Amino acid sequence: MSTAMNFSSKSFSPRPPDRGSFPLDHLGECKEFKEKFMNCLRENKFDNSLCREQSKQYLECRMERQLMTKEPLEKLGFKDLLDSNSAEKQQQMKT
């Protein structure tokens, strides 16, 4: 009777990391944006919905420095911020 477990019979298929997880920002290129975001979270009792602008800026920094895959901000959930920014710019141009 063989009761030995054969772990090699199961194949391991790795999954890619979540968006923005890797590579780490070892050089601190986006540290300023991260700190602004973290301060905002602390000031707002970790309600991230109140810190979306800081979150957007942090992700933009990461994408610009190739610390995460470039994605349209609309796809990352910031479409409403983009729409409001463009509306504000149009208002400023009128005045």
> What pLDDT does 81 receive?
87
Q: ∠ at Cα 47 (25, 17), nearest 5°?
A: 35
Instruction: Say whether pLDDT at 21 is over 90.
Output: no
Q: What is the pLDDT of residues 30-41, one digit of tens each?
A: 999 999 999 999
> What pLDDT does 50 receive?
96
- Cα separation, 54 vs 35, in Å, equals 9
Mean pLDDT (the chain, rounded): 80
Higher pLDDT, 11 or 69: 69
> What pLDDT does 83 receive?
75
Q: What are the residue ranges spanned by the domains of the chain?
A: 26-68
- Cα separation, 38 vs 46, in Å, equals 9
Q: Are 93 and 87 in contact (CB under 8 A)?
A: no
